[in-house]
A and B are shown apart, each in its own frame.
Chain A
Amino acid sequence: EPEVTQTPSHQVTQMGQEVILRCVPISNHLYFYWYRQILGQKVEFLVSFYNNEISEKSEIFDDQFSVERPDGSNFTLKIRSTKLEDSAMYFCASSYTGTTNEKLFFGSGTQLSVL
């Protein structure tokens, strides 16, 4: 089965630094998402992306966050000035149609630790 690929699997950074989390969605998918999961807690929606623009974002996705699809394959999440509370597992996901009956394909996640 095709896979969503995320790199790196672990990222350690100092507070205030910028990080870029990278994702390669499934090649024919059109809808891309970022979710985060703080340790032991629920999986929270951050942002969805379609047709080269943000289609929806949550209240978590403030000005320190940005997403980009710099080429035909990568989808990135940038956190401009990391805070301690940004420490979490970040999941990239993709789907083809974005409709209610379609599952999301998740990557294996990037564990971000902010020190």
Chain B
Amino acid sequence: AQKITQTQPGMFVQEKEAVTLDCTYDTSDPSYGLFWYKQPSSGEMIFLIYQGSYDQQNATEGRYSLNFQKARKSANLVISASQLGDSAMYFCAMRASNTGNQFYFGTGTSLTVIP
């Protein structure tokens, strides 16, 4: 069974600072994908970044990077130079081939950027 854990229900960060949102996962499948989505107050789910289990390098997408530590089964999202518009819920998700490639989400972290 899959398990995604986000231990930070809420986080605060000063504008222009960097912030790390934690995500740990558990799967027995060697082939899996890890994803981060942003959900602003308007409710839509916005894809941010992807990391494959076989990827050698950490994924980066603009101000977003993923700190992938496979042995620790962690996939933390790093947001650099936080902006007010980054205030939102952030969900970590995983899909693995041994569970039909379904997306399983963590409980989310609410990020508030303080001016």
Contacts and interface: CB of A to CB of B under 8 A. Distances in A.
A63 B108 CA distance: 29
Contacts of B25: none
B102 A48 contact: yes
B101 to A, nearest CB: 5
Interface stretch (B16-24, B74-82, B91-99): B91-99
A42 B97 contact: no
Nearest to A48: B102
Size band of the interface chain A makes with B: 20 to 34
Size band of the interface chain B makes with A: 20 to 34
B15 to A, nearest CB: 25
A44 B52 CA distance: 22
B21 to A, nearest CB: 15
Given A101-B50, A106-B44, A45 B103 contact: yes
B43 interface: yes
Contact of A56 (B91, B93, B100, B105): B100
Contacts of A98: 101
B101 A100 contact: yes
Contacts of B43: 89, 108-109, 111
Contact of A42 (B31, B32, B105): B105
Interface of A: 33, 35, 41-45, 48, 55-56, 89, 91, 93, 98-109, 111
Interface of B: 31-33, 35, 37, 42-45, 47, 50, 52-53, 91, 93, 95-97, 100-108
